[in-house]
Amino acid sequence: MATVDLVVRGGTVFDGSGGAPVVADVAVDGGRIVGVGAGAWTGREEIDARGLMVTPGWVDIHTHYDGQMTWDTRMSPSSTLGATTVLAGNCGVGFAPARPADRDTLIRLMEGVEDIPGAALHEGLTWNWESFGEYLDAVDALPRDIDVAAQVPHGALRVYVMGERGAKREPASPEEIARMGELTRDAVNAGALGFSTSRTMIHRTADGDLTPTLGAARDEMVGIARGLREAGAGVIQVASDFTDLDEEFGLMCDLTAVSGQALSFSLVQPDMAPDRWRDMLALVDDAVARGVPIKAQVAGRPVGIMLGLQGSVHPFITRPSFQPIKDLPLAQKVAAMRDPTCRARLLAEAPMRGHPFINALAGRHHKMFELGDPPNYEPDPADSLGARAERLGVNPDELVYDALLGDEGCAFLFFPLANYAQGSLEPIREMLEHPNTLSGLSDGGAHVGAICDVSLPTTMLTHWCRDRTRGPKLDLATVIRAQTRDTAEAVGLFDRGRLKPGYLADINVIDFDRLRLHAPHMVYDLPTGARRLMQHADGYVATIKSGVVIYREGQPTGALPGKLVRGRQAAPALMAAE
C-alpha distance from residue 32 to each of 407, 546, 560 (Å)? 46, 6, 16
Closest of 450, 446, 359, 443 to residue 111, by C-alpha: 446
The answer to whether 306 touches 438, Cβ cutoff 8 Å, is no
What φ, ψ does residue 236 adopt, rounded to 5°? -120, 135
Rounded mean pLDDT, 243-269: 97
Q: Please list the alpha-helical segments (H only) found in 327-380.
A: 330-338, 340-348, 356-362
* DSSP reduced 3-state for 297: strand
Closest of 124, 276, 115, 110 to residue 196, by C-alpha: 110
Amino acid identity, position 561: P
* DSSP reduced 3-state for 381: helix
The answer to whether 558 touches 572, Cβ cutoff 8 Å, is no
Residue 407 region, left (φ>0) first, then alpha (ψ -120 to 50), else beta? left
What is the DSSP secondary structure assignment for residue 343, as one 8-state letter?
H
d(CA 562, CA 144): 5
**Which pLDDT does position 456 carry in this prediction?**
98
Chain-centroid distance, C-alpha 547:
25
DSSP assignments along 318-334, one per residue: TSGGGGGGTTS-HHHHH
Angle between helices 174-190 and 218-231 (to 10 degrees): 30
The answer to whether 102 touches 159, Cβ cutoff 8 Å, is yes
| Cβ-Cβ contacts under 8 Å for 347 (sequence gap 6 or more) | 395, 397, 398, 401
Closest of 546, 522, 413, 514 to residue 53, by C-alpha: 514
What confidence category does residue 354 fall into, taking pLDDT thresholds of 50, 70 and 90? Answer: confident
The answer to whether 361 touches 312, Cβ cutoff 8 Å, is no
Reported as type and span, the H/E element at residue 523 is strand 521-523
Confidence check: pLDDT of 578 > 90: no
Ordered by where they begin, the domains of the chain are: 2-56+503-559 (2.30.40.10), 59-301+421-490 (3.20.20.140), 306-418 (no CATH)
Amino acid identity, position 343: R
Start-to-end CA span in the chain (Å): 27
Positive or negative CA dihedral for 460, 466, 470, 473? positive
What is the percent of the chain where pLDDT is above 70? 99
DSSP E strand stretches across 253-377: 263-266, 294-298, 303-307, 369-370
396: cis peptide before it, omega within 30°? no
What confidence category does residue 39 fall into, taking pLDDT thresholds of 50, 70 and 90? Answer: confident
Q: What are the pLDDT digits (tens) for 498-525?
A: 999 999 999 999 999 999 999 999 999 9
Closest of 236, 220, 266, 74 to residue 151, by C-alpha: 236
Confidence check: pLDDT of 468 > 80: yes
Q: What are the pLDDT digits (tens) for 273-319?
A: 999 999 999 999 999 999 999 999 999 999 999 999 999 999 999 99
Q: What are the pLDDT digits (tens) for 64-115?
A: 999 999 999 999 999 999 999 999 999 999 999 999 999 999 999 999 999 9
pTM value surpassing 0.95: yes
Tell me which of 359 and 428 has the higher pLDDT.
428
The answer to whether 88 touches 65, Cβ cutoff 8 Å, is yes
